[in-house]
Structure 1
């Protein structure tokens, strides 16, 4: 009797971004650098019925499958599971690259990839979103939920078409990108979406505690601290509410507190500023994390309070 094949653990990378930002070009540039010993497969999601991007990517000796007629997370959702399963079974690849439609809600795609049966064979690696810097700094674009979703979910933010942007646009892009929360693991600036192969291995694991950079050199005398929790940890919504209500009494001179937390299988953004806090759903799908700025506080006490707010099974 032959030995059973080891369980497949393919690394999957999602590429999202609005129409025309250069996702296909970015993937083609990576294909040109693919190590000979690695086996890759690609799945392209087209909004229309005719797959153009799939045709562009074919011919590189890398299997390409297309899902057309809808975005991955809605109309084509069940088809994605079937297509991914088929590609994994037939090719047993080291990496799977998924190019999402420009209209795809990237967070929903990540949720499906992290859910059995796909989660049994896949590890979600660095997630990329390709943006046009001139759109990124445009307030009209940033008001669109879909645009916020695509930017919020990624680990690596790729500014394409940099050669077509003015210095003013790029300076405004860098300023806005530096303020994103949670912060990106890496922000790349490229001409014509030309990627570097090493970016696929961008580190996405966070330390349990970290110093945040909101106040350079701590010149204002404030204390800052960040905390992270594994992406599998769920927080209890009621206990999380009690934690935020109690924050002013747990700190001296509270200035800012913000965090993203996994609650009931989704992620919410809680933001305390000017004496009030509010909550919104966000597309972030990595860890849960909390950042605090105040005149003084006991970091161990804050961490214990956060631990107490976790769901205990």
Structure 2
């Protein structure tokens, strides 16, 4: 199609074409990457399905399509209830990681064309945290709520990232300090070292939450923390494949004492 028609813009609806991340890899790879300029990948989501959280919501295909997308659009606003829309917004804004470049809703299938040109490169992690969100996550962990993988949130501020030179964003409050690193999608990490890093973070009492998506070889992975009584530090980190492809990133929240000094020193520690 590209050679024959030479289109100004080519739309690809990938259903039935395999893994979304794999398709992204092909389109941005050695052969097509120099010919194509990839714009925003859009996931069109039925808001009533998200609210119900049924079989489709939990399917691997749905999860991969959403993770690969830069933009998530909640469809059927004309028939969705107020609670459906609120459930979609909580999921799309607070639960999805990494944060999307844009989240919106549409009615009657009317998708604004300007969505096609939304910036879709790396974005900066949020420099400041919601105190109540961190406190709630800490309380949930104290009650046995899991391995510190709650939502951190991001703001869609574009940033330039070059290979080998990650961007860092620091922030926090008087009680919690945060650090976020964004790496070029060309940076490739070693699986054993990543696993060791994440297990060290998971077993450090001062680390209250962390999240990451990192490139390992030809795929991207996300750390999943599991409690394992037989291990010395009590935790095991499993690196699960994820369809996200735009960059690699790590975000950490650390609890600090009043004597810990400035936020940069606390995060470096």
If the length of structure 2 is used for normalisation, what is the TM-score?
A: 0.71
- 8 Å CA contact retained: 1:132, 1:160: yes
2:246 to 274, 280, 286: 286
> Distance between the aligned counterparts of 2:105 and 2:247, measured in 1?
25
- 8 Å CA contact retained: 2:73, 2:105: yes
> Distance between the aligned counterparts of 1:102 and 1:160, measured in 2?
21
> Distance between the aligned counterparts of 1:208 and 1:190, measured in 2?
27
> Hey, what does 1:124 align to over in structure 2?
38
Q: CA deviation at 1:197?
A: 2.1
Q: CA deviation at 1:267?
A: 0.5
> Hey, what does 1:71 align to over in structure 2?
none
- 8 Å CA contact retained: 2:178, 2:267: no
> Hey, what does 1:180 align to over in structure 2?
96
> Hey, what does 2:23 align to over in structure 1?
109
1:255 to 203, 208, 215: 208
> Distance between the aligned counterparts of 1:90 and 1:300, measured in 2?
57
- 8 Å CA contact retained: 1:256, 1:272: no
> Distance between the aligned counterparts of 1:102 and 1:165, measured in 2?
27
User: CA deviation digits over 1:64-97, x for unaligned, max 9?
Assistant: xxxxxxxxxxxxxxxxxxxxxxx22233333221
> Distance between the aligned counterparts of 1:190 and 1:244, measured in 2?
39
Distance 1:287 1:215, change over 3 A: farther
> Distance between the aligned counterparts of 2:47 and 2:174, measured in 1?
32
> Distance between the aligned counterparts of 1:265 and 1:247, measured in 2?
25
If the length of structure 1 is used for normalisation, what is the TM-score?
A: 0.61
Q: Which has the larger radius of gyration?
A: 1
Unaligned residue ranges in structure 1 (runs of 5+) = 1-86, 306-313
Q: How many residues align?
A: 217
Distance 1:165 1:207, change over 3 A: closer
2:68 to 122, 145, 153: 153
- 8 Å CA contact retained: 1:257, 1:271: no
> Distance between the aligned counterparts of 2:179 and 2:226, measured in 1?
16
> Distance between the aligned counterparts of 1:198 and 1:188, measured in 2?
12
Q: Which runs of 4+ in 1 moved over 3 A?
A: 207-210, 212-220, 271-277, 296-303
Distance 1:248 1:130, change over 3 A: closer
> Whose helix proportion is higher, 1 or 2?
1
> Distance between the aligned counterparts of 1:265 and 1:159, measured in 2?
31
Q: CA deviation at 1:160?
A: 0.8
Are residues 1:268 and 2:192 paired?
no
Are residues 1:235 and 2:189 paired?
yes
Unaligned residue ranges in structure 2 (runs of 5+) = 134-171, 228-233
SS of residue matched to 1:162: coil
Distance 1:207 1:155, change over 3 A: closer
Report the aligned-residue RMSD. 2.9
Are residues 1:193 and 2:109 paired?
yes
Of 271-280 and 136-145, more deviation after overlay is shown by 271-280
